[in-house]
């Protein structure tokens, strides 16, 4: 076991930093593959005490005076809490422990809060947050129930979120009472949603307030859940058609070695990646979702800050989203349920900077912003058309217990195929109404339909001639 002693002095620690770099480099080079020989495991001087009644280990607290540089599988002091992913009993499955207070018992790679974990580090560095602080979760329990569902115990249906992530205080109360720092990865609450498009629909008579789902002022009542990603690496690898070793090495490489434990700790199968999570919005009674006889309307939406928030007209994202919300409200008012799942996958998961570079390429290319070259421009800048890879997308649907979607508000074949391949039936596919497509988004919708998006009734007849003549707005740059 290798430990860095961190003095309390605020002076620069150049020699210590050099030692860390040398050790990290040596560790990475000597364990570049999963088949590297294990380290010799030193015997513990004492075995952690266990409560005779519940069998839960006593938490081993990590102080802020030292940092474990690495912990190989068989090294001294490594004793992660076991995880049996897919077991229907949360106590047998085991809690996901990825906080900094239990270094030797931690059973997940990464950190909570996705990319926001860096801000936690900044808060500690600035002296604004005590690194030993443990949140008070007494009043944080879900305000409505989700599950358990049969799908929770099937890794092929739930492997990118922790299905027990909202039940921390209930399922793992005994761990919390013993002093374990276990954080929820799902939070469930309720809210009022106020959208100008919904108010306009009320004014135009498309929506009728009922005082329950939709208020007279145009606000709608929703139940919602925020979810952080929690990956079970063996199943993630299977879905992407690669070995777990290849998955670990690829992530390690493309994050510039950010997570050496992906290489050095093949025994830890859980990873909390530094990516955006998702939010589920529900109109109507969530308890009706698993009932196939009750109408369910659903849209799976990928984040587009420019359109969703600021109304950019180069794409159909916001109008399609608000149309889906309107359909969800109508479904709920008919006694069914409406779901919008909002993924943080900005710019097809390529990021907003890449997306804007693609916009510039589209507008500056010879012949202007053409539907014919819509996808080519993305590949020219990013090297790939899309990195959303919908293999993980159906998981929140299975978390909710969805087995049948009556109205799927999407034209994407990638999303449709990903969902139905996991056993969920989709009855109707609903395209965006033509009158909702912004002028500059004609390039997008034409290119997508021509290349295989579900055209529905509204977009029949888009052929190569239509593809070639569809050109977007010109800019003076």
**What is the set of active-site residues?**
386, 388
- 148 preceded by a cis bond (ω within 30 of 0): yes
Q: What is the rounded CA–CA span in Å between residue 438 and residue 126? A: 46
Q: Are 264 and 70 in contact (CB under 8 A)?
A: yes
Q: What is the rounded CA–CA span in Å between residue 379 and residue 389? A: 15
Name the 3-class secondary structure at 296.
strand
Q: Are 265 and 245 in contact (CB under 8 A)?
A: no
* 418 to 236, 390, 396, 429: CA distances (angstroms): 14, 6, 13, 14
Cα 109 from chain centroid (whole Å): 16
Tokens 């999570």 belong to residue: 277
Q: What is the rounded CA–CA span in Å between residue 282 and residue 297? A: 10
Given strand 337-343, what is the order of strands in its sheet? 186-193, 220-227, 278-284, 337-343, 296-302, 404-408, 425-429
* DSSP type of residue 411: -
* DSSP type of residue 59: P
HSE-CB at 106 with a 13 A cutoff on CA atoms is 23
Q: What is the rounded CA–CA span in Å between residue 298 and residue 341? A: 8
Strand partners, 354: none
Structure tokens at 340: 């919008």
How many Cβ atoms are within 10 Å of 378's Cβ, its own excluded? 22
């Amino acid at each position: 076991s290798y430990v860095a002693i961190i003095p309390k002095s605020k002076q620069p620690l150049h020699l210590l930093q050099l030692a860390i770099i040398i050790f990290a480099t040596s560790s990475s080079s000597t364990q570049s593959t999963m088949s590297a020989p294990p380290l010799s495991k030193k015997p513990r001087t004492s075995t952690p005490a266990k409560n005779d009644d519940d069998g839960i280990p006593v938490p081993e607290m990590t102080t802020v005076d030292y940092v474990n540089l690495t912990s190989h599988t068989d090294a001294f002091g490594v004793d992660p809490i076991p995880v049996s992913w897919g077991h229907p009993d949360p106590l047998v499955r085991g809690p996901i422990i990825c906080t900094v207070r239990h270094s030797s018992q931690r059973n997940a790679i990464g950190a909570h809060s996705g990319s926001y974990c860096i801000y936690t580090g900044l808060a500690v560095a600035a002296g604004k947050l005590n690194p030993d602080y443990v949140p008070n979760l007494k009043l944080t329990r879900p305000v409505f129930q989700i599950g358990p569902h049969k799908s929770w115990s099937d890794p092929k249906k739930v492997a990118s979120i922790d299905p027990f992530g909202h039940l921390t205080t209930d399922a793992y109360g005994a761990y919390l009472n013993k002093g374990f720092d276990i954080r929820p990865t799902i939070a469930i609450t309720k809210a009022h949603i106020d959208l100008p498009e919904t108010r306009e629909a009320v004014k135009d008579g498309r929506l009728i307030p009922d005082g329950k789902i939709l208020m007279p002022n145009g606000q709608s009542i929703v139940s919602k859940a925020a979810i952080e990603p929690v990956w079970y690496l063996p199943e993630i690898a299977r879905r992407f058609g690669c070995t777990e070793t290849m998955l670990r090495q690829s992530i390690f490489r493309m994050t510039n070695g950010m997570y050496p434990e992906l290489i050095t700790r093949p025994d830890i199968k859980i990873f909390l990646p530094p990516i955006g999570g998702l939010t589920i919005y529900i109109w109507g009674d969530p308890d009706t979702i698993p009932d196939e006889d009750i109408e369910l309307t659903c849209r799976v939406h990928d984040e587009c800050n420019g359109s969703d928030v600021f109304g950019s007209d180069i794409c159909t994202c916001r109008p399609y989203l608000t149309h889906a919300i309107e359909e969800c409200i109508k479904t709920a008012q008919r006694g069914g349920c409406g779901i919008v799942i909002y993924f943080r996958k900005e710019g097809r998961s390529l990021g907003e900077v890449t997306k804007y570079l693609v916009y510039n390429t589209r507008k500056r290319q010879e012949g202007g912003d053409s539907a014919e070259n819509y996808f080519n421009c993305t590949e020219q800048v990013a090297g790939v058309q899309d990195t959303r890879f919908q293999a993980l997308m159906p998981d929140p649907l299975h978390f909710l217990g969805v087995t049948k979607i009556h109205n799927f508000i999407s034209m994407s074949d990638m999303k449709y195929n990903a969902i139905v391949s996991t056993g969920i039936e989709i009855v109707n596919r609903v395209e965006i109404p033509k009158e909702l497509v912004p002028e500059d988004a004609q390039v997008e919708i034409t290119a997508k339909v021509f290349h295989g998006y579900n055209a529905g009734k509204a977009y029949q007849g888009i052929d190569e001639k239509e593809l070639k003549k569809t050109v977007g707005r010109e800019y003076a740059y």
